[in-house]
Every structure is written in C-alpha cells, then in structure tokens.
Amino acid sequence: MARILGVDIPRNKVMRVALRYLYGVGPSVALQALEKAGVDPDKNSNDLNEEEVQTIRKILEEDFTVEGDLRREVGLNIKRLKDMGCYRGIRHRRSLPMRGQRTHTNARTRKGPAVSIAGKKSIKSMK
C-alpha cells in the first residue's frame, strides 16, 4: 500500500481514482499530477513501484496545495472572516449556512437537532 502525504492510497484502484483520497485532489488535479509524473492514469495502484510513488509525492508537494497545508489555509481563512466580523464570519461563528440558504425550514444539518418549544417554556417557568 502506497503512502502519499500521510494518507494510505487504497489498493486495487485505478490511480486517477486512488489519488482522490487525498484532501484537495479531485479529478482534474489527479490527472494533472499523473501526467506530470509520467504515470498512466489507468494503472492500478497495486502496480506502482517506489520510484513512481516518489515522483507523484514530489509533484503533489511542489505544485499543488493539498492535505495539511490546504486544511490549514481553509481554517485560517475562516478564522480571518470570524475576526473581521463580516456577514460570512458571523454565520460561521453561529454555525448557520452562509451562502444565502433559507433557515426557516431545512438547514438541520448545520443547525443541529431541533429543540422543542416545550423545552423553551420550561426555561421561562423557572424565572
């Protein structure tokens, strides 16, 4: 099993699909990296030799932002929005959708489980 950027590439998959298991590598980036490395995209991940794995790893590290660096960059961007206090930052802080979706109905994944009104009444009765 090949290991690229701290992620185990799955066995017995075509390389253009196997590389997508890396964070930040989609269909087009996988094909570009394999083309630069000179590896056949339809080659099975079991058939890779160590030299091909090293060239793919080197190309992904140098030419693309993937895995830890990309996660850090995205996290810092969200932190910057929160610190600025802009609309998107406030929505991130409150764990609400930030791209204009409605929240009156739907958005349960983002908002969490529904709280019944009976639960809110009991809080009022304690006052």
Secondary-structure percent of the chain, ordered helix, strand, coil, rounded to 5: 60, 5, 35
**Lowest-pLDDT range of 56-60, 74-78, 104-108, 121-125:** 121-125
Q: 98 and 52, same structural domain?
A: no
Q: What is the domain extent for residue 118?
A: 71-126
Q: How confident is the model at residue 115 (pLDDT cuts 50, 70, 90)?
A: confident
CATH number at residue 107: 4.10.910.10
pLDDT at 2 over 70: yes
CA–CA separation, 120 and 90 (whole Å): 24
Mean pLDDT for the chain overall: 89
The amino acid occupying position 57 is R
Q: 75 and 119, same structural domain?
A: yes
Q: Residue 42 to residues 25, 27, 34, 47, 96: CA-CA distances in angstroms?
A: 17, 13, 10, 11, 41
Q: 57 and 93, same structural domain?
A: no
Which among 8, 44, 15, 43 has a CA at the least distance from the CA of 31? 15
Q: Report whether 76 contacts 68 (CB < 8 A).
A: no
Q: What pLDDT, in 10s, does the model give residues 47-94?
A: 888 999 999 999 999 999 999 899 999 999 999 999 999 999 999 999
pTM for the model stands at: 0.74
**Lowest-pLDDT range of 17-21, 87-91, 121-125:** 121-125
Q: 89 and 46, same structural domain?
A: no
pLDDT at 4 over 80: yes
pLDDT at 124 over 90: no
Q: 109 and 79, same structural domain?
A: yes
Which among 3, 81, 111, 87 has a CA at the least distance from the CA of 48? 3
Q: What pLDDT, in 10s, does the model give residues 21-43?
A: 999 999 999 999 999 999 999 99
Sign of CA dihedral 88, 93, 94, 95: positive
